[in-house]
Amino acid sequence: MARAFKSTPKGFVADLEKAERRLLRTLFADVIQLLDAEEPRPPSAAPSTSAPATSAPSTSAPATSAPSASAPDAPAAGTSAEAAGDPFWDIVAGLGGEGAGVVPSDPHTAALHREAPRDEALARLLPPGVHGETAAEQAAAGEFRALTEDSVRRSKTADLQRAVAALQVNPLVLDEANAVSFSRALNDVRLVLSARLGIDSEEDAERVHAVDDWASATDVESYMALLYNFTTWLLETLMLALSTQLPDQP
C-alpha cells in the first residue's frame, strides 16, 4: 500500500508499490493523450454562445484511501489497454478517449477565435480565461483562448511527462520544483476523473469519496471513483508535505 509523501532532508518522498506506480504512469499518459488531441471546430470566427465550462470541484472533501496491492497490475505507460485484455485497465485507458480521432482546426480561424473544448474533461483542463455569456464576453474568451491555450497544453504536458519519468523508480524522491510539478500533474488527473464522474458539487464529491473498497468495485463508475480518491489522497499528502517548507508567518 502506498505511503504518504513526507518532507525529508533528501526531498519529498513517497513509497509506492509497483502496481501503484504503473497505475499513475498510465493515468498521466492518458491525460497527455487527451491534451494532444485537438477537437474539430466550425470554420467560423464567430464566438460560441454556449455557457463556459464548469469549474473544477473543490478539494475540500477528504480522500478515503489509497488502493491496496490487490489492485490489478497495470500495463506500462503507452501500452494499449486492449492488448492488456483486463477490463480494469480498459477503464483507465479510456479516460482520455473522447478526444481521439479528431482533426486540427483551421489555423486562420484559431488565430482569431477558439471555442472551448466540447469534451467536459478537456474543458476542465483548459478552463476559460474570460467568463461571461454576453457576445462580447464570449468573443473575449475565444480570443484569449486562441492566444494562450497551446502554451497551457504544452505546460501541462511537460508536467505530466516529468511525472511519468519520476515514477520509474521507488521510492519516489522529488525536489521542491519537481514536487510542485508533480502536484500539478496529479491535479490534472483529478480534473479528468472528476469530469468523467460528473463531480459538480460538494454532494457529488461526497458520493464519490464514499467509494473506498477495491474488492467491491464492479462497474466503471466505482473503479473511477477509487482512482479519483487515490489521486486525491496522494495529492493531499504532497501538498501537506510542501506546506511544511513554507516560511513561518511573522
Number of domains, the chain:
1
Task: Answer whether residue 91 shows pLDDT above 90.
Answer: no
Residue 204 lies in a domain: yes
pLDDT, tens only, 92-129: 555 655 443 333 444 544 457 899 899 999 999 999 88
Q: Does residue 203 or residue 1 have the better pLDDT?
A: 203
Round to whole Å and give the CA distance between 230 and 67: 6
Give the mean model confidence (pLDDT) for residues 33-60.
50
Question: Has residue 51 been placed in a domain?
Answer: yes
Q: Is residue 114 part of a domain?
A: yes
Query: What is the mean predicted confidence (pLDDT) over 55-75?
Result: 43
Cell of 135: 457576445
In terms of Cβ atoms closer than 10 Å to its own Cβ (0-12, 13-18, 19+), residue 6 is: middle
Residue 250 lies in a domain: no
- Give the mean pLDDT of 22-38: 93
Nearest to 40 by CA among 97, 98, 104: 104
- Asked if residue 249 belongs to a domain, the reply is no
What is the pLDDT at residue 141? Answer: 86
For residue 100, the model assigns a pLDDT of: 37
- Whether the pLDDT of residue 220 is over 80: the answer is yes
DSSP state of 72: P
Confidence (pLDDT) at 27: 97
- CB of 175 within 8 A of CB of 13? no
- 248 domain-assigned: no
106: in domain? yes
Average pLDDT over residues 165-190: 97
Q: 104 or 209, which is more confident?
A: 209
Q: Does residue 116 form part of some domain?
A: yes
Grid cell in block for residue 25:
504512469
| Percentage of the chain lying above the pLDDT 90 cut | 53
For 118-228, strand residue ranges (E) read 172-174
Which one is predicted more confidently, 39 or 230? 230
Average pLDDT score over the chain = 79
- Cell numbers given for 164: 511519468
| pLDDT recorded at residue 112 | 78
How confident is the model over 7-29, as a mean pLDDT? 96
Could you tell me if 46 and 90 are in contact, meaning their C-beta atoms sit under 8 angstroms apart? no
Range of the domain at 121: 3-243
pTM above 0.85, yes or no: no
Grid cell listed for 95: 479516460
Phi, psi of 14 (to 5 degrees): -135, 145
